[in-house]
Amino acid sequence: MTVASGALPRLPRRVSIREVGPRDGLQNEAIILATDDKLRLINALAATGLTWIEVGSFVHPQRVPQMADTAMVCARLPRRSGITYSVIAPNVTGARRALEAGIDSVEVFLSASESHNQRNLNMDIAQSLRTVTAMAALLREAGHPFQATLSVAFGCPFEGAVPLERVLELCGHLLDLGIAQLTLADTAGMAHPRLIQQLGWAFHERFPRHRLRLHLHNAHGAGLANVLAALQIGVTAFDSSIGGIGGCPIAPGAPGNLCTEDLVHMLHAMDIDTGIDLHALIDCTRMLEHLLGREVPGQTIKAGVCTHLTG
Ligand code: ZN
């Protein structure tokens, strides 16, 4: 079959990627990495052309022991021009600690379903909205950039489908806080390409001045298909994790986050620029496998880079 190229959907020429491996990826690992090893990995990632790296979390150290050294990591980050480092914070105390740590940017978050919010943040959504409002006031007063993530926006592992109107209502509350960018997260890997386009279009129609970022998981293998669906409706910002590390909350052992080098490989093959050196990125994944002492779920490190791709 031949198809005229004019009939093909237009795709963005450039995509921006936020690397979340040092936080969202590592926090699910059984092995707790030494601060020096985390910094080695972050250093290597910072040299690949990535412009945004999520490096830690100011949640309570007993809840996530892997992130207990976030303040120390923040103090020793390799400073390079053009790179933003961010952390996530669950409450006002966490936001204060992030400010004290001198991090570039802070991510606030809540869930689109009550059950997930309760388990993740130990409060109901109404309480979470009051909390993020207080955090936003603190960060705004300090003149500090912050963003928000809405978790389980494409489905909740405990409640199933989340009503689209509910998601949009919560997006509205978060955007009213004056955040720089909103991320919708497929925390449980329940999204599929049609849902990505339905929710993406609905968001665009309701909030035409705001650009969406997607945080996709690969629990059912739909991660890259979901990226393509998002590209087709003009989404140009994604989260991903080196090696595809990171867990799935309801299926231990299932793939977690979308894999950064798999994502970059596909985008470069499609002539979509990321500004990232794919080979340098794969070297980071090798370092990560060495640090973790195991294979990671990503495919590109096993299959290699297609010969026509140079960058
Ligand atoms: Zn994730």
Cα–ligand 1 centroid distance for 230 (angstroms): 17
Q: Which residues surround ligand 1, an ion (CB under 5 A)?
A: 24, 257
CA atoms within 13 A on the CB side of 284: 31
Of 13-22, 146-155, 180-189, 252-261, which gets the smallest average pLDDT? 252-261
Q: Is 248 an active-site residue?
A: yes
Residues 6+ apart with CB under 8 A from 282: 261, 300, 301, 305
Cα–ligand 1 centroid distance for 135 (angstroms): 22
pLDDT in the model for residue 140: 94
pLDDT in the model for residue 11: 94
| pLDDT band at residue 1 using 50, 70 and 90 as cut-offs | very low
Cα–ligand 1 centroid distance for 165 (angstroms): 23
295-305 pLDDT tens trace: 999 999 999 99
pLDDT in the model for residue 7: 74
Of 61-75, 200-214, 265-279, which gets the smallest average pLDDT? 61-75
| pLDDT band at residue 94 using 50, 70 and 90 as cut-offs | very high
CA-CA-CA-CA dihedral for 213, 218, 220, 223, to nearest 10: 50
Which of 184, 162, 186 lies closest to 256 in space, CA to CA?
Answer: 186
| pLDDT band at residue 30 using 50, 70 and 90 as cut-offs | confident
195-254 pLDDT tens trace: 999 999 999 999 999 999 999 999 889 999 999 999 999 999 999 999 999 976 556 666
Cα–ligand 1 centroid distance for 275 (angstroms): 22
Q: What's the pTM?
A: 0.95
Cα–ligand 1 centroid distance for 188 (angstroms): 8
Domain that holds residue 65: 14-303
Tokens 């309570």 sit at which residue? Answer: 60
| pLDDT band at residue 80 using 50, 70 and 90 as cut-offs | confident
Give CA–CA dist 57/80, Å, rounded.
Answer: 21
Residue 5 domain flag? no
Q: State what percent of residues in the chain have pLDDT above 70.
A: 95
Q: State what percent of residues in the chain have pLDDT above 90.
A: 84
Backbone angles phi, psi at 94, to 5 degrees: -65, -40
Residue 107 domain flag? yes
pLDDT in the model for residue 63: 85
Give CA–CA dist 300/293, Å, rounded.
Answer: 18
Domain count, the chain: 1
Residue 295 domain flag? yes
Cα–ligand 1 centroid distance for 222 (angstroms): 14
Residues 6+ apart with CB under 8 A from 238: 15, 16, 17, 18, 213, 214, 215, 216, 227, 230, 258, 263
Rounded (10°) angle between helices 278-292 and 35-46: 170
Residue 109 domain flag? yes
Rounded (10°) angle between helices 114-121 and 125-141: 60
pLDDT in the model for residue 252: 64
Distances (CA, A) of 166 to 109, 214, 272: 16, 18, 33
Burial class (CB in 10 A: 0-12, 13-18, 19+), 91: buried
Give CA–CA dist 59/112, Å, rounded.
Answer: 19
pLDDT in the model for residue 3: 53
Mean pLDDT value across residues 178-186? 93
Give CA–CA dist 113/279, Å, rounded.
Answer: 39
Residue 29 domain flag? yes
Give CA–CA dist 267/252, Å, rounded.
Answer: 29
Cα–ligand 1 centroid distance for 198 (angstroms): 21
Residues 6+ apart with CB under 8 A from 221: 255
- Do residues 259 and 244 touch, judged by C-beta distance below 8 A? yes
pLDDT in the model for residue 62: 85
pLDDT at 291 over 50: yes
Let me know the angle formed at the C-alpha of 82 by 80 and 85, rounded to the nearest 5 degrees.
75
160 — alpha (psi -120 to 50), left (phi > 0) or beta? left
Residue 241 domain flag? yes
CATH number at residue 271: 3.20.20.70
Residue 7 domain flag? no
pLDDT at 267 over 50: yes
Cα–ligand 1 centroid distance for 6 (angstroms): 36
Residue 2 domain flag? no
Cα–ligand 1 centroid distance for 246 (angstroms): 6
Cα–ligand 1 centroid distance for 12 (angstroms): 24
Backbone angles phi, psi at 127, to 5 degrees: -65, -40
Catalytic residue among 156, 248, 259, 284: 248
pLDDT at 2 over 60: no
